Each structure stands twice: as C-alpha cells, then as structure tokens.
Structure 1
Amino acid sequence: MAEKIGGQVLPDVADAVVIGAGPAGAVMTKAFAEAGMSVVCLDQGDWPDYSTSRNAGAEYEIVGGNEWSPLPNIRKGIGDYPIDESDADISALLWNGVGGSAMMYAAQWQRNMPSDFRVKSQDGVADDWPMSYEELIPFYKQAEKDFAIAGFNGDPAVPETDFPMAPTPIGKSGALLGKAHNSLGWHWWPGANGIATREYGRLKPSTRRGASYLGNGDQSKSTVDVTHWPDIARRENAYLLTRSTVARIETDSFGKASGVIYFDADGNERRQKASLVVLAASGIGTPRLLLMSANAQHPDGLANASGLVGKRLMMHPYSAVVGTFDEEIGTTQGAYGHTLYSMEFYETDETRGFVRGAKWGLMPTGGAMEMTRSFPWGANDDLWGQNFNTSLQERLNHSVTWGIIAEDLPEEHNRVELSSDLVDAHGLPAVKISYETSENSRKLLAFHVERARESLLEAGAKKITVAPHIRNTGWHLLGTAKMGSTAEDSVVDHSGRAHTVPNLYIVDGSTWPTSAGVNPTATVVAMAMRTANIIISGRQA
C-alpha cells in the first residue's frame, strides 16, 4: 500500500529510488522524472539553512560558524555520522543534505583532461577508464549550461567547452600571474566557475565576497538546491524526502535490488520498493551503504564480488603557495573559485621522478579574518604576537594563492570501512577511513610547490608562504566502487551498473578508476547524465 510522507503519497513501487540529493542525485532524479518515470530521492540531511551562512553580508567571516564546517565531526548536523580518521593523514570533507558536498565546494569547474581516461595506456600505472573524454563531450556541454558555468571558451588544453556566460574578472592578481606565465612560457587560462556573473535562471550575480564555500547565501553558486530541485519539485512523479537515512538496499530472490529500508525524520523504519536503485551518496557514503547492505546472497557487501568496495580511496592531496606583494592586488574581494588556472605541469614527465601531475587554481586570500586562519598560511608563526598588525597589513589585499590539486593514484590500502564502535543517530555503523599520502603524491606536490614559487616570484611577489601538505582538504572523495570491465576487477561497468546487481547503479565519484588532478564535479555530473541517458534509452528500446 502506498505511504503518505510529508503530504506526499509515494508510489508503492517506484520506477527508481535515488539515494543522495547532491549534483549527481539531482541530475538522475530530474532525467528520470522528465522521462515520465516515478522517482523517489532520499537524503539523510536537510535543506540548507542559509540564515546561518551569511555569505551575502560583510560579516560572513565571523558568523559562518560550525554549522558550515566541511568536517562532519565538527558540524554534527542533521544526517551527519561520525568518521574515524585516526589512521588517515587527510580528513574527509563532506556535506549531507540537499545540494550534497557541492554546498562546500569553491565551484571551480574543470573537466577531466583527455589523458585522465587512459593513464594505464599512456603512463603504465593504475587503470584506463572504460570510456573516453570524447564520449563525455556532449554531456560536459549540457552540464555547463544546466549548471550555469561562467568561463572563457577556447583553451587549447580543454577541448570543446561551451560556457553560457562570461568568466569572473581575473583582476589585478590574475593579470600579474598571467603576465608572469607569458614570460615563463607556461600555460594559463581564465578560470571557469559555477558562480554566476549575471542573472541566469534563479541564480543571481555573485556579490564577490570570496565566500562561496560557505553555502550559497547570495544565490550565485551553481548548487542543485537552486539550479535543479525547484524544477524537480513541480513534477508530480518526483519525490524528495529529506532527513531520510537509508539503512540498507534490499535484494530479491533473483539477486536484484528491490528497494530500500530507511529511517524517516521521526526515526520510523520504512520501506520504499523500486524497480531500480541509484546510489549517489559520495565516495564515503556509497561504500558505507553497500557494506551495510550485506546479506546471505552478498555476505561481503552488496556488489562486492571483487572485494573492492571501499578500497582505492583517493582524496587529491593538496598544497597551497601564497605570494605576498608590495602593492595592493585586489584580493579582499572576488569569487572564491579560481580566477586563473594552469595545466602547465599536468602531464607525466618521467625526468621529474614521479608520474602524473596537478592543476593549479589561483584564488583570492580574502578579508581580514582569512589572514589569521591556518589555511593557506600554515602554522602562522610569523603572525601572532608583537608583529600582528604589521603582518596583517602585509597580507591583507596584498596576497594571492596558487592551490595545487595533486592526482592521487589508487591504492587498495587506502580505504573506507564500517566502524567497529562508532554509530550514527539510528545506531547504524559509522565509517573508518584509512589513508596515507603516497610517495608519488609527495614528490609530485614538492615539485609543483617549487614551480608555483617560481610563478609568484616572476609575478613580483616579495615573500612566499607554503602550506606543503594540508590535512583538512579531502573535498574530493573518489574511487571506492571502481568502474571496470568485469566483476572480478571492479564494482560497476562502464555505465555505472553493478556487475552483480543488474538494476543497481552508482553515479558519484566512487566509481572513478583514477582520480585525475582536477576538481571532479564537472565529470561527476557529466557521467551521471550519461548514465541517465543509457538507462532511459534502454527502457524506451
């Protein structure tokens, strides 16, 4: 019998259940609904409360508070669960709720590079992807329109972009670094960001306070609570249930997914049956749920015939290099996305002593409070004490950061497991992360830090500050449900379909065979669009 939840009468058996209301979950729900399918999306968090963000006001640096911490162990919000990271040298950053972890992203929009799909063939390490860059181009283009990306087309390093609006101005700091790279003969390009530079649908032009990572208070950032869910909510065949924590995915006697068991906002256990189940719960949440769904047919966890569920966690080790200049360079204001990026050292050069590379993103350092934080200033030994006023004045509006995202190679000992002692509010097991930054990543970052130093000095910086390895930077959670060709070497196939559960799909970053060295949202979204197209085309055939 159909249930009534929050005024909604849900289908007895939905055509699809989607778990997670972030970018990938929103893309899947929207596509299914537009194809006429009945779809129920469940998210264990809630809608964002922008009254606690204040990032449209001048006071945002002070009042952001723990409510917007990207660390769930600090935030402890609705839908969050503890994460044991005692054996990890990078902390996982994630957001449970409508909008997903993109609520915390700086909105830097970067496609994977063509070489990212053929790492094994080209560099002899890790794995090739079972798809190519070229296959994703039409979906990248559609995503750039749907997510209102502001960028500058024509970068020879990133083929066939189609941005619908002009980029954020690069400002004086961007002009300085662009000129420096021209002098050095190094690549640079104006940054593409999911931050509106004009009115676009429901999005407003950015107030450019450098605060986009604190939610979306000025309604300028391309987060799906603004760009997607209001449209989905108007459809009679789509349902979004918040504060709904999925406890397990059920399977029938034929080994197919038959629906989910979840706890509603009042703690009641409920069942939603479905013909199709889609997981979009992040590189942490997805393996957690697969492992919690172990049963007699799948004793090691759902879709885990390969034993790889939870393994091969990649988190993009990150460094920041700050240049401080004599003159004011306009970095107290501006979008917190990247004003410029450089792919100069992205590809493998064996003479460097490591494989693969990193993308650099140029970012403003922000207002007065930002000058006192550990990111990107490190230990701040030269700030506090009698030199405080001098140091603050030296930094404020005189500094800019190259953020360096390192490609992280997959290693099975880096993993997500169910915790043996921590539980969430419903008594469900929390997670334990084991992660050690590899020697390859450390060598890679050391090389890129030195090149970024050269870049800033060429631009005229009088002082360089390096945060060489920052713990609280695990924004990109990838690889824990690997995509591949067989059930023996992977969890899902090229479409995201589980090898051993044929009506279960995974569409978040957990399916990535390798991590690339760029911000992943653009590719997560494009891949979700591709998977939705495959599923819908198959139903219509």
Structure 2
Amino acid sequence: MRYDAVIIGSGAGGGPLALRLSGAGMKVLVLEKGPRLGPLDYAHDELAVERGMFTPDTATDPHAVVTRKTKTPTRMALGWVASCVGGGTEHMGAYLYRFHPVDFKMRSHFGALDGFADWPFSYEELEPYYAMAEHEVGVSGLAGANPFEGRRSGPYPMPPLPAHPVSRQLEALCAARGLTAFPTPRAINSRPYGGRPACAFCESCSGYGCPTGARGSSQAALLSRAEATGHCTILPDVMVHTLLTDAGNRARGCVYRDPDGRDVEVEAALVCVCCSAVESARLLLLSKSARHPDGLGNGNGLVGRHLQFHAVTMGQGDFVPGRLPDQLLDDPHPFLGRSVMDYYFLPPGVSELNKGGILRFGFVPRTPLATARRVLGREGGLVWGENLKQKLHNAVHRERSIYFEVFHDFLPTRDTYVSLDPDIRDRWGLPVARISLDIHPHHRVAGRWLGDRAGELLGDLGADKVTLSDVGGTSAYLVMGSCRAGCDPDTSVLDVNCKVHGVENLYVVDGSFMPSSGGGPPTLTILANSFRVADHLLTRFGDGAAN
C-alpha cells in the first residue's frame, strides 16, 4: 500500500505531524518500534518502571557509549528517550518551558565558540507554534508570571496546577532575594481538557505512565485524535532499519522488520523520521546505498555530529521535625510546582560562558523504592530489621524532602557525536548507535553555581541539610542536535524546514534539528517545531501527495 506520508516514531516529533497531516485528509502511517501501552498498563508499579517499562533491554538493544576514559564501549540506555507509542512523552515529567529568544542565536550572542551555531529561524517565528503546541497538548500555567520568558501571544489554555501551600512560602523567600518563583508550566490537566480528565494528584508522576489520561502525551492528546480522523494508522512493534531512495533525489519509503522477523517495504510520497536524535541519526547512517555510501544526508559527514543531551544539576533539602514549615507534613499534596528563571544568564566571572538555566523545585516522591534508597544513602551502609522499619516510617511520616533540578545548556563539542558501532549488534543483527561523549567543563562550573543558588533557597525554607547529588551531569533522555538544521548545506544536515539537504521529500522532525540545547527541557520546542514543519508540509504536499 502506498501512503501520502510515513512517520517513523510517535513521540513529540511524530505526534503533531500525524495529527495535522491526517486532519488535512492525508493518508498517514505511523511506525513505532515499541509496544502500544495505555492507562491499564500504567499501574503505579515502581518495580516495573525500574525494570525498564519504557526503554529497551540493554542486553539486546543497547546504545554503546565511549568516553575519553573508556577503551571499550559500555552498553547503556543513555539516549533512549523511550520505545513505545507516544515515545518519551508517555513518562515525561511534562515540564513544558519555552526556550529563551537568545537560545535561537547562541553564536550571534556569545560568539564563535566551538560548535555554536544560530538557528535558521527565530523565537518570534516559532512563537505562534509554541502557543499552538500548548493548546494542542494542554499546558497548565500562568502567563506573565515568568518575567524572563519571551513574548507570548496569549495565555495558557489552563490555569496552573494546584500546589502545596509551601509553594507560597518559597515564592515569598524568592521575593526576599529579589527573585521570581512562578508556577511550573506542565502538560497536565488542571481541569478537564481535550476530552481528558483533570489530574488525580498521585505521587507516581514523572517517570511513570499516566493511568488517568491527564498528561498531554503524544498518544493521549495527539495520536488518538489523528486516528479518529480515519486517515491515520499506527503500527507498533516494528523496527524500521532502512530508508529507501529512488535513482534521483527522492525518498520512496522504508523497510521495517515485523514481530515475526519479516522485512516489509512501505512506499510513501513523504518520509518523516522522528525516532529521537540518537536513533534518527542511526537510521540515516544505516540507510546506505550506491548513491549514498555514507548514509542518507551524510555527504558532508555531519549526520550524528553536534549531538547534545542536557546538562542537569540535582540536589535536595531534608526537613526534619522542629524545622519543618508548618504545613509541610500536614498537607499530602504531591506537587510543589515552582520554578525560577532569574539565573538563566550567569553573572560575569562564573564561567567562560555566562549561560545558566532554570531551577525547578518539587517534592521527593515517597514511593517505597525511592524512599528506601534515600534512607540507605543517608545512612552510608546497610540497615535492616526494626531499625530499618523505624527509619522508613520516619522518612514517610515525620520527614519531607524537597528536591531541585537545574536544567542548563549542554554545549556541543567536536567529540560528542553518534556513529555506528563496528562490533555491537542489536537483536535484529544491526549495528547499534555508538555515542561518543565528551563533556564541556562549563557544565560542572555552571552546575555548581546554579546548584548552590537552589540550595540557598531550600536553606531559607528551613532545610536541615542540603546536598547536591549531581553537578553538571548528563541527562539520559533529553537528547538533540544530531542532524543540525541550518541555511548552509555545507555546515548542516537539514534546511530551515527540517528537510534533509539533497533529498526532496525526506524530513527529520524531532530534537535532531536543534543547533543548541537551551537552558530548559526541549520537549515543548520539539512539539512546536513539529507543528511548524507540519504547516510547511501541508503547503508543499497537501494536494495529491500520493499521486
């Protein structure tokens, strides 16, 4: 069967394309490597999530990671956003911040540092699509509360999620330091929206699937509506391993391996790769032919280059009896839901680059395994019997911990990139993605400074102890940049509309296109860009694409 469009991957990049193209009457096929899960699969099973509900088994489907310190690759899940219908949006924390306007012009603003490039479009050009994405997936937030974000054309579609009373104390303490704490924008329904219910306020949120359907995942908010048009088919549990091209400069479809191990060829007038940055680069590199001996779009050798994850700094403050804010224990509300963007730019002298990030505050979940780890980590050794029972009881009923997560830029370097591993194969016998990882020293310098600022605020709140658990670390699942978009075919893989240079109908529409990582999670930006590209595709292919 021939389709108007085949979309490979169903997360934040593929979902908007599927919705918009099928809504315009195009015949769309969405191919997803992982299974189709749903609310009935999303019980609050901490052990199932720990065992890899959303990511492949590294024994049979790993990424191979090498650093300057390693001589042989390590099988890891680094870079695996998810493998299921809906992709990483199925278990995301749903913190949907917009990027700052400067994030689109890093080279112009900060100079020609190694790996820096300006985006081929501006914040102002993406702003209408930021607004569209917020309304399509449903974001709860308060427009105007964050004085540091770029111009907004309208309010959020829903008010902020209700928050624990301590959020007001944090706001007051921030104000006393001249800072602004604002409600964290989240793709979680604060009221019924889009035919989906409001949040049930459980403690098993970020990292878990949503059993109520209140999270605006690609599957719940976008793909379900795409299927309802009658023009979109979703096929899970299939592994796309080759992109097909004709004798000229066009893609003609792809080949996937079905659950029985058979190769199936699909033809389409439009091919969109949305597998996430590591796997999208891998698919292009796997798609070799006589005309494209180094892989599709890789004539300049840049597929896989400029890979970025996200730099992250984390820590927590522990509150004990006698120093607890009045309502910290009494109110069981699971969301603190406050962020601070005052430090998006660092003061002079902190680092060679004065780029900071966003501080986000939340409660440490009191789920059993997380609580046990926290207790054991604090004790520094084995604890068992009545002593363990008492400490676990105290951790749940007499103590509370607030954590902070600082999102800050992962700077592109020449030695962080994706290639095909020469030795390690996946369960289909295909070369796995090899991730070469080299960390810029700015990550730790900025992370330490930003983490100290977050810790000061928890100290103001009355924390008995503040600890940093990770400084300038590498996020395993926020990934971008492997197929950089730009105006010059010699220095980029994609054009301004995310079309592969030199291939007329092949697009890469996920985080791969991003020249820089920004100081916040990229999910909303990926969604917004996908809606932007969808408009371009409808203009270009909307009439008789399959003809």
Same fold, TM exceeding 0.5? Answer: yes
**What are the residue-to-residue correspondences of 1:470-489 with 2, within 5 Å?**
473-489=475-491
Alignment of 1:109-128 (within 5 A): 109-124=96-111, 125=113, 126-128=116-118
The 1:335–1:249 alpha-carbon spacing in structure 2 relative to 1, beyond 3 Å, is farther
Q: Deviations over 1:85-117 (max 9, x none)?
A: 253899334211211111221111111111111
With over 3 angstroms needed to count, the CA separation of the structure-2 counterparts of 1:391 and 1:324, relative to structure 1, is: farther
Opposite residue 511 of structure 1, the aligned amino acid is F
- Correspondences of 1:15-414 after superposition (within 5 Å): 15-55=4-44, 60-61=45-46, 64-68=49-53, 71-73=55-57, 81-87=61-67, 91-124=78-111, 125=113, 126-154=116-144, 155-158=146-149, 159-160=151-152, 162-212=155-205, 213-325=207-319, 326-327=323-324, 329=328, 334=333, 339-355=337-353, 356-369=355-368, 371-372=370-371, 379-382=377-380, 384-385=382-383, 388=388, 389-390=390-391, 393=394, 397-414=399-416
Query: Contact 1:321–1:467 at 8 Å: present in 2 too?
Result: yes
Does the CA-based 8 Å contact 2:444-2:473 persist in structure 1? no
- Give the conservation status (yes or no) of the 8 Å contact 1:332–1:364: no
Distance 1:232 1:348, change over 3 A: same
Q: State the partner residue of 1:499.
A: 501
Of residues 446, 449, 463, the one that matches 1:447 is 449
1:13 CA drift (Å): 2.5
TM-score, normalised to structure 1, is: 0.90
- CA deviation after TM superposition for structure 1 residue 384, in Å: 4.7
Q: Match of 1:393, as an amino acid?
A: N
Q: Is the 8 A contact 1:28 1:528 kept in 2?
A: yes
Measured against aligned partners, the alpha-carbon deviations of 1:446-466 in whole angstroms (never above 9, x if no partner) come to 111111111111222221021
- Please report how far the alpha carbon of residue 201 of structure 1 lies from its aligned counterpart in structure 2 after TM superposition: 2.4
Which stretches in structure 2 are left out of the alignment for 5+ residues? Answer: 68-73
Give distance in 1, aligned partners of 2:279 and 2:110: 31
Q: Which moved more, 1:152-161 or 1:176-185?
A: 152-161
C-alpha distance in structure 1 between counterparts of 2:128 and 2:275, whole Å? 25
Structure-2-length-normalised TM-score: 0.89
Q: For the Cα contact (< 8 Å) 2:237–2:258, is it kept in 1?
A: yes
SS in structure 2 at match of 1:287: helix
Residue 137 of structure 1, CA deviation: 1.2
Q: Secondary structure at the match of 2:130?
A: helix
Bigger mean CA deviation after superposition, 279-288 or 198-207: 198-207
Would the alpha carbon gap of residues 240 and 177 (structure 1) be closer, same or farther in structure 2, given more than 3 Å must change? same
CA distance in structure 2 between the aligned counterparts of 1:311 and 1:32, rounded to whole angstroms: 30
**Hey, what's the Cα distance between the residues in 2 that align with 1:379 and 1:163?**
40
The AA in structure 1 aligned to 2:56 is: P
CA distance in 2, matches of 1:196, 1:354: 40
Q: Deviations over 1:21-59 (max 9, x none)?
A: 11221110111112222221111112115444313xxxx
Asked if the contact 2:341/2:359 (under 8 Å) is kept, the reply is: yes
Deviations 1:357-410 (A, max 9, x none): 1111111111152553658x9954447538753476257652111101121111
**SS of match in other structure, 1:533:** helix
Structure 1 residue 176, shift from structure 2 partner? 2.5
What is the CA-CA distance between 1:71 and the residue it aligns to? 4.9
CA offset digits 1:171-218 (Å, max 9, x no partner): 133222211111111132111101112211232222212322211222
User: Structure 1: which 5+ residue stretches go unaligned?
Assistant: 1-11
Q: Report the aligned-residue RMSD.
A: 2.5
| Structure 1, 481-490 or 264-273: larger mean CA deviation | 264-273
In 1: Cα distance, 2:334 partner to 2:534 partner? 32
Cα distance in structure 1, aligned partners of 2:491 and 2:377: 43
Worse overlay, 508-517 or 456-465:
456-465
> 8 Å contact 1:24–1:508 — kept in the other structure?
yes
SS of 2:121's equivalent in the other structure is: coil
Give the aligned partner of residue 532 of structure 2: 530
Which amino acid letter does the alignment assign opposite residue 86 of structure 2?
G
Does the 8 Å CA contact 2:29/2:234 hold for their aligned counterparts?
yes
**CA distance, structure 1, for counterparts of residue 77 and residue 518 of structure 2:** 18
User: CA distance change for structure 1 residues 71 and 188 in 2, over 3 Å: closer, same or farther?
Assistant: same
Task: Among all aligned residue pairs of Structure 1 and Structure 2, give the percentage whose two residues are the same amino acid.
Answer: 26
Q: CA deviation at 1:61?
A: 3.8
Question: In 2 relative to 1, CA 490–411 (structure 1 residues): closer, same or farther, beyond 3 Å?
Answer: same
Secondary structure class of the residue paired with 1:323: strand
Q: State the SS of the aligned residue for 2:190.
A: coil
* In 1: Cα distance, 2:358 partner to 2:39 partner: 31
Amino acid across the alignment from 1:343: M
* 8 Å Cα contact 1:324/1:461 also seen in 2: yes
Q: Distance in 1 between matches of 2:298 and 2:532?
A: 23
CA shift, 1:335, in A, is 5.6
Shift of residue 539, structure 1, vs aligned partner? 3.6
Q: Secondary structure at the match of 2:213?
A: coil
Q: How far does residue 532 in structure 1 lie from its aligned partner after superposition?
A: 0.7
Deviations 1:106-138 (A, max 9, x none): 111111111111111111131111111111111
Give the Cα separation in 2 of the matches to 1:406 and 1:378.
29
1:90–1:317: 8 Å Cα contact kept in structure 2? Answer: no
Structure 1 contact 331–398 (Cα < 8 Å) conserved? no
Q: How far apart, in 2, do the equivalents of 1:323 and 1:27 lie?
A: 38
Larger mean CA deviation between 171-180 and 522-531 belongs to 171-180
SS, match of residue 96 in structure 1: coil
Aligned CA distance change for structure 1 residues 38 and 96 (closer, same or farther; 3 Å) = same
Residues 256 and 410 of structure 1: CA distance in aligned 2, closer, same or farther (over 3 Å): same
Shift of 1:354: 3.4
Query: Contact 2:311/2:474 (CA < 8 Å) preserved in 1?
Result: no
**In the aligned structure 1, how far is the partner of 2:62 from the partner of 2:469?**
27
Whether the aligned pair in 1 keeps the contact of 2:10 and 2:30 (CA below 8 Å) is: yes
Residues 420, 379 of structure 1: CA spacing in aligned structure 2 closer, same or farther, 3 A cutoff? farther
The change in CA–CA distance for 1:185 and 1:485 in structure 2 (over 3 A counts) is same
